[in-house]
Every structure is written in C-alpha cells, then in structure tokens.
Chains A and B, each alone.
Chain A
Amino acid sequence: NAGVMQNPRHLVRRRGQEARLRCSPMKGHSHVYWYRQLPEEGLKFMVYLQKENIIDESGMPKERFSAEFPKEGPSILRIQQVVRGDSAAYFCASSPPGTVGRSYEQYFGPGTRLTVT
C-alpha cells in the first residue's frame, strides 16, 4: 500500500536547463496536485489534474511551467529554462475519486528539492 511517490528527491540544474519532476499517486487515486514551498514558508498551490486533464492551473506561472497527468504513467511537472528563483521544494499530493468527504483529503509525497545553480 505505497504512498505518493516522487522522484527525484533532489535535483540540481544549471540555469537554462530543464527540470522534470515526477509524481506517482497512491493506488486508486484519481487526482494529482502540485505545490511549491520556499524555505520557512507555506505551501503554494500550482495546479491540479485528473487523468489527461488539467482541472485548475490558477497557481502556475504563465511561462516555462507545465504539468501533465497522462493516461499511463506518473504526473510530470516540467520547468523549462530554469532560473535561480525556481529553487524550492515541490510537493505532489493525490486524492481519491468522488465528490464528497474523503475525496477532498490530499495525501502528500516526500517532495523534490530543486536547486538551480
């Protein structure tokens, strides 16, 4: 009964490179959420997705950031042409299907720490 898996746990990229962060939701979960967290700060919502659909991307920067959750395989958060300001912890969460109660509970992975040099 594995939890939410994220990889890599740590990622170092030089300015201008691309970063790909992966998230495998808990078994049976239908929705994936991506958050960004700077040191000593709270969680900032970025995007949430259902299989093959972006539901709400109101927290995503307009440029360089994209997310997908394909029919098969993990969800991917992609950051193109990274800059130093992209350095942060990126967390993925997943939730079960449904429209009431426990379907709103989000379960988090351990995060990916991105460092841009």
Chain B
Amino acid sequence: GQQLNQSPQSMFIQEGEDVSMNCTSSSIFNTWLWYKQDPGEGPVLLIALYKAGELTSNGRLTAQFGITRKDSFLNISASIPSDVGIYFCAGQLNAGNNRKLIWGLGTSLAVNP
C-alpha cells in the first residue's frame, strides 16, 4: 500500500538539543497529522494541520504543512528524556468521505540525559 517517506528513521541526541523530522509524498495531501507512540501504548495525536503553509505549535513541538502540500515537518525544541518514543506522520489523501490515513514508518527518537 501507499506510504509516506519519513526521515530520519532513527535519531540519538543529547538532552537539550533540537530535533527535526519530516515526511514527504509524491501525492498532494489535505491533512497532516503527527503522532507519538510510547512503548506498549497506542499512538497519541500531537499536532494536526489542515492548510498548506500552516504552522502550529504544541508546547515545545512545532509542525508545518508544506506549501506544496506534499510534505510536512515536526520540530522538537530543547529535548528532554520523556521525548523518547516513535514519531509517526500520517496524511489524508482525498477530501470528502475517504478517511483512510496514509502513514509513515516512524522516526525512533532516543535522548541521552
């Protein structure tokens, strides 16, 4: 099935560093969503983006909907140990009744205290 290209696949950083990850697609998306999954838990929605160019923050997290509508990035500033986890991007491809999301394969983040 269709997937988003999410990069990097994994990151290992020092506490306090900033982090950036992104997702790209050859298709145009109407919605971009960013999730975080902790071990043994379900993904938790972090940020939702609905318009091209939109920049949205949630605490130390900032995400943007690319102006071409084919990409999105997520930044985490001043990382802390609890940022450890897997971050997934997801996009909604078609307007209207098709609610199926296309998913990236995830970015695994490790933070060294």
Contacts and interface: CB of A to CB of B under 8 A. Distances in A.
A103 B99 contact: yes
Interface in B83-113: 88, 90, 92, 95-101, 103-106
Contacts of A100: 50, 95
B103 A99 contact: no
Interface string A76-95: 00000000000000010101
Contact of A43 (B40, B88, B97): B88
B28 interface: no
B99 A95 contact: yes
A91 B104 contact: no
Interface in A58-83: 58-59
Contact of A45 (B40, B88, B101): B101
Interface stretch (B41-49, B56-64, B70-78): B41-49
Nearest to A105: B48
A42 B100 contact: no
B96 A91 contact: no
B113 to A, nearest CB: 23
B96 A99 contact: yes
Nearest to A9: B40
Interface of B: 1, 3, 30-31, 33, 35, 40-45, 48, 50, 88, 90, 92, 95-101, 103-106
19 contacts: A33-B99, A42-B88, A43-B103, A45-B1, A45-B101, A48-B100, A55-B99, A56-B100, A58-B100, A99-B96, A101-B50, A104-B48, A104-B99, A105-B33, A106-B90, A108-B43, A109-B42, A110-B41, A111-B40
